[in-house]
Amino acid sequence: MFSILPSFFIRSGYRVLAAILVFLILQQYLSFRKPVSVSPKYPEQTEDAFSLPCESLEGLNDLFVILRTGASEAPKKLPVHFSTTLRCVPHYVIYSDYEEDIEGHHVYNALDEINPDIIATHPDFEYYRRLQEKGREAFSSEELAQWSAAKNTNGGRDSPGWRLDKWKFLPLAEKAVRERPDAKWYIFIESDTYMLWQSLLEWLSHFDSSKPHYLGMQMQIGDVIFAYGGAGFAISNPALKKAVAHRNENLQSYDDLTGAHWAGDCILGKVLADTGVNLLWSFPTLAGDQPADMNFNSTFGGSNKKPWCYYAASYHHLPPAEYHKLAKFEETWNRENGTRPRHGDVFRNYVLPNFSSKLSDWDNLSDVDQGSVASFDECRTICEKQRDCMQFSLTDQTCKTSTALMLGHKISKDATPRVTAGFIMERLKDYPEQMDELCDNQSWILP
């Protein structure tokens, strides 16, 4: 939800290496009661355009899915989940900082059991107090615009909703255990997380849910390694119960930590680590970007763990308009193939058809500054002269190139400065086969 990771990815090591890794991960991080129901060339899909085969999702009944959102985004981002992400899920609950109903689905207050003194006095809750008193009407259009445009900082996104979000994680852990004490797995997602359920269930089948497990895309802040919330993460029953019990025994300490910290997923990771439950580094099975923004050749997980080669179980930062399209791809793939889709399959079938030699008002995330140029064609020439350059972009007169291949995403025509993206299409032709050659029967991230 309020995560701020750009691409890819990026969310310990030993001394100098650890320091470098922490710095890089921090940069990437800054770019993610009762169950309610117990782009330019992408083809348009509606919720009626596919039929999700819920009966094939064996084991889904063992999961309890906790979707975390906030009042500032819930009306826009939640509705698509009811016909995609949550359509087949028998046990789920939605939590926010504001209790309400959205399209017939109840959204519960995640913060209603926080210490009243903290709510009354802590500056993080000033936004929450106004929200509870007057709802969304409490905020002026100027405030909302300012928060929407808030920049990322080394301490998180500078908006009141983001600062409040960190307080939700530990209460949600307790609420989840209380509501579904017999669930084998607790799956925590955000309102822009896309889960490939059949893939996730197949991955989880490799683990003993009666043992403590904490599975998620690895991130690090200080000496704490934790699961990045935006990619979704899974915690087994005994692991979450241990964390909840330990937190309740040290409630003041963890409240103080939350107040001084800026990332709730990190705090939950620390509670788990304090009980002896360490994270299984699960990237690229769980991924922190949408497919169009991913570097499928990323070495974030290690040089032998390129996303292209691994099965995909989640994506993040997916715009609402893409959910039905990705769900259609997933449903078709699972029906026509005997294995789950790897990230490379997602690229080849879902992303690749959308490339073009030039895309206006488009950010393809090129990041190597080549200096000032006179034209888009001059920037293209710079890229073409570099044997490994795949793409480039022009922002004002600044040319940037990249050896990574990422489609990227459309940006507003009103955005300043304007950005135009370009791709060396001749080099894209051989890219899938070249990437296939890097794989050696990788499948899932396992212990």
Mean of per-residue pLDDT scores for the chain: 89
| Domain shared by 380 and 263, yes or no | no
pLDDT of residue 146: 79
| Domain shared by 114 and 220, yes or no | yes
Residue 47 counted as domain residue: yes
pLDDT of residue 414: 87
| Domain shared by 376 and 243, yes or no | no
Contact indicator for 171, 114 with CB cutoff of 8 Å: yes
| Domain shared by 173 and 277, yes or no | yes
Residue 12: pLDDT over 70: no
Q: Which tens digit of pLDDT belongs to each residue from 106-133?
A: 999 999 999 999 999 999 999 999 999 9
Supply the CATH number for residue 165's domain: 3.90.550
pLDDT of residue 18: 44
Residue 332 counted as domain residue: no
Q: Which tens digit of pLDDT belongs to each residue from 208-238?
A: 999 999 999 999 999 999 999 999 999 999 9
| Domain shared by 265 and 389, yes or no | no
Residue 172: pLDDT over 70: yes
pLDDT of residue 257: 98
Beta strand spans in 7-77 (E): 63-68
Tell me the three state secondary structure of residue 247: helix
Residue 154: pLDDT over 80: no
Tell me the two tokens of residue 440.
């050696």
Give the whole-angstrom CA distance, residue 69 versus residue 161.
10
Nearest 5°: CA angle at 165, between 160 and 167? Answer: 115
Q: Residue 361 is which amino acid?
A: D
| Domain shared by 77 and 210, yes or no | yes
| Domain shared by 129 and 36, yes or no | yes
Give the whole-angstrom CA distance, residue 315 versus residue 230.
8
Residues above pLDDT 90, as percent of the chain: 80
Q: Which tens digit of pLDDT belongs to each residue from 70-90?
A: 999 999 999 999 999 999 999
Contact indicator for 187, 66 with CB cutoff of 8 Å: yes
Distances (CA, A) of 125 to 2, 130, 195, 285: 16, 9, 31, 35
Which DSSP category does 342 fall into?
A: B
Contact indicator for 308, 343 with CB cutoff of 8 Å: yes
How many domains in the chain?
A: 2
Where does the pLDDT of residue 153 fall: very low under 50, low under 70, confident under 90, or very high at 90 and above? low
| Domain shared by 273 and 365, yes or no | no
Give the whole-angstrom CA distance, residue 305 versus residue 297.
9
How would you classify the pairing of strands 362-363 and 218-221?
unpaired
Which residue range forms the structural domain that includes residue 101? Answer: 15-281
Supply the CATH number for residue 371's domain: 3.50.4
Residue 65 counted as domain residue: yes
Where does the pLDDT of residue 31 fall: very low under 50, low under 70, confident under 90, or very high at 90 and above? very low
Q: Residue 90 is which amino acid?
A: P
Where does the pLDDT of residue 147 fall: very low under 50, low under 70, confident under 90, or very high at 90 and above? confident
Please choose, from the candidates 95, 103, 113, 94, the residue with its C-alpha nearest in 3D space to the C-alpha of residue 38.
94
| Domain shared by 267 and 128, yes or no | yes
Residue 322 counted as domain residue: no
Residue 324: pLDDT over 60: yes
Q: Which tens digit of pLDDT belongs to each residue from 417-429?
A: 999 999 999 999 9
Give the whole-angstrom CA distance, residue 86 versus residue 189.
11
Residue 148: pLDDT over 90: no
Domain-terminating residue out of 234, 252, 281? 281
CA 5 remoteness from chain centre: 8
| Domain shared by 110 and 258, yes or no | yes
What is the mean predicted confidence (pLDDT) over 197-209?
98
pLDDT of residue 54: 86
Residue 324 counted as domain residue: no
| Domain shared by 72 and 172, yes or no | yes
Question: Which ranges in 250-322 belong to alpha helices (H)?
Answer: 251-260, 264-274
Residue-by-residue DSSP string for 96-116? ESS-EEETTEEEEETTTTS-H
Residue 359: pLDDT over 80: yes
Residue 321 counted as domain residue: no
Distances (CA, A) of 375 to 33, 66, 394, 399, 408: 57, 49, 8, 9, 21
Residue 341 counted as domain residue: no
Q: Which tens digit of pLDDT belongs to each residue from 279-298?
A: 999 999 999 999 999 999 99
CA 105 remoteness from chain centre: 23
CA 6 remoteness from chain centre: 10
What is the mean predicted confidence (pLDDT) over 95-107?
98
pLDDT of residue 47: 43
Q: Which tens digit of pLDDT belongs to each residue from 42-67?
A: 333 344 444 557 877 999 999 999 99
Residue 334 counted as domain residue: no
Which DSSP category does 341 fall into?
A: P
Contact indicator for 160, 147 with CB cutoff of 8 Å: yes
Domain-terminating residue out of 262, 281, 300? 281
